[in-house]
Amino acid sequence: MTMISPAANDALQGWLDGQKALNGSAENTLAAYRRDVGEFLAFITEHNGQSQGLAALSVIGISDMRAWMAFTRGDGIGARSLARKLSAVKNFYRWLATREGFEATAVLSTRAPKFSPKLPRPLAKDAARDMLDHIELQHETPWIGARDTAVITILYGCGLRISEALSLTGADAPLPEVLHITGKGGKQRIVPVIDVARKAVDAYMRLCPHPIPRDGALFRAVRGGDLKPRAVQKAVEKTRHQLGLPASVTPHAMRHSFATHLLTAGGDLRAIQELLGHASLSTTQAYTAVDTERLMEVYNKTHPQANRPAS
Closest CA to 138 of 218, 29, 241, 18: 241
How far is it, in rounded angstroms, from Cα 232 to Cα 180? 22
Contact 121, 256 (CB under 8 A): yes
How far is it, in rounded angstroms, from Cα 48 to Cα 5? 13
How far is it, in rounded angstroms, from Cα 65 to Cα 71? 10
Residues with catalytic function: 161, 184, 252, 255, 278, 287
Strand partners, 182: 188
Q: What are phi and psi of 169, to 5 degrees?
A: -120, 175
